[in-house]
Amino acid sequence: MNPKLMKRFHFSLPIKNIDDALVDALYGRCADVSVGSSHGVMYVAVDREALNLETAIDSAVTDLWDLGIEPLRVEMDLPNLAPS
């Protein structure tokens, strides 16, 4: 892949609450995410480089699924996250 074609995409994936061990596993797998909560909802905020938005979202969702985390939806506005 040509790095000049890559763009950075920002989005968040609300998830059901997960424990600290799973948060640590997520950080170990994905260097481009932040986990926190806003208004009682846990989020994974993603800052991912990809060729297009669809690829960025697909790869982030796959990373979560591989850890047994199911995103509830995709949000394009990043919440102001409080660390979990």
Helices 20-29, 53-66: axis angle to 10 degrees equals: 130
pLDDT of 83 higher than 70: no
pTM: 0.84
Please give the Cα distance from 84 to 21 (Å, whole number).
Answer: 12
C-alpha span between 82 and 84 (Å, rounded): 6
Among candidates 34, 24, 48, which has minimal Cα distance to 79?
A: 34
Residue 56 lies in a domain: yes
Residue 82 domain flag? no
Residue 8 sits in a domain of what CATH number?
A: 3.30.70.980
pLDDT tens digits, 2-48: 667 899 999 999 999 999 999 999 999 999 999 999 889 999 999 99
Assigned domain for 80 exists? no
Please give the residue range of the domain that contains residue 57: 3-75
Number of separate domains in the chain: 1
In a domain? residue 64: yes
Is residue 78 pLDDT above 70, yes or no? Answer: no
For residue 5, the model assigns a pLDDT of 84
24, with CB counted inside 10 A (0-12, 13-18, 19+), is: exposed
